[in-house]
Amino acid sequence: MTENKRPDFILITAGASGIGFAIAEAFLANGDQVHICDINETAIEQALAKHPELQATVADVCDPKAVDKMFADIEARWGGLTVLVNNAGIGGERASLDTLDDDAWGDCISVNLNGAFYCMKRAAKWMKRDNHGSIINISTASVRTGLPYRAPYVASKAGLEALTTNAARELGVYNIRCNAILPGSINNERGQELIRVHASTYGMTFAEAQADTLKYTSMRTMIEMSEIGDMAVFLASDRAKNVSGQKIGVCGNAEWEE
* Calpha distance 164→179 (Å, rounded): 6
Return the pLDDT at 1: 47
**Is residue 196 located within the same domain as residue 95?**
no
54 shares its domain with 182: yes
pTM of the model: 0.96
Q: Domain check: are 105 and 217 in the same one?
A: no
Within this chain, do residues 19 and 63 fall inside the same structural domain, yes or no?
yes
| pLDDT of residue 2 exceeding 90 | no
The answer to whether the Cα torsion of 40, 46, 52, 53 is positive or negative is negative
Instruction: Give the other-Cβ count within 10 Å of 19's Cβ.
Output: 26
The count of structural domains within the chain is 2
Rounded (10°) angle between helices 189-202 and 206-213: 100
What does the alpha-carbon distance between residue 161 and residue 219 come to, in Å, rounded to a whole number? 24
Q: Rounded mean pLDDT of 125-139?
A: 98
Residue 13 in domain: yes
Q: Could you tell me what percent of the chain has a pLDDT over 90?
A: 96
Residue 150: which domain range?
Answer: 9-186+223-250
Task: Find out whether 164 and 247 touch, Cβ atoms under 8 Å.
Answer: yes
What are the counts of helices (DSSP H) followed by strands (DSSP E) for the chain?
10, 7
Q: Hey, which residues are catalytic here?
A: 153
For residue 258, being part of any structural domain is answered with: no
Question: Same domain for 74 and 111?
Answer: yes
Give the pLDDT score at 127. Answer: 98
pLDDT digits (tens, 9 = 90+) for 161-177: 999 999 999 999 999 99
- Mean pLDDT of the chain, nearest integer: 96
Q: pLDDT class for 85, splitting at 50, 70, 90?
A: very high
- DSSP for 108-176, written as a single string: HHIIIIIHHHHHHHHHHHHHHHHT-EEEEEE--THHHH--TT-HHHHHHHHHHHHHHHHHHHHHGGGTE
CATH of residue 67's domain is 3.40.50.720
Same domain, residue pair 142 and 193: no
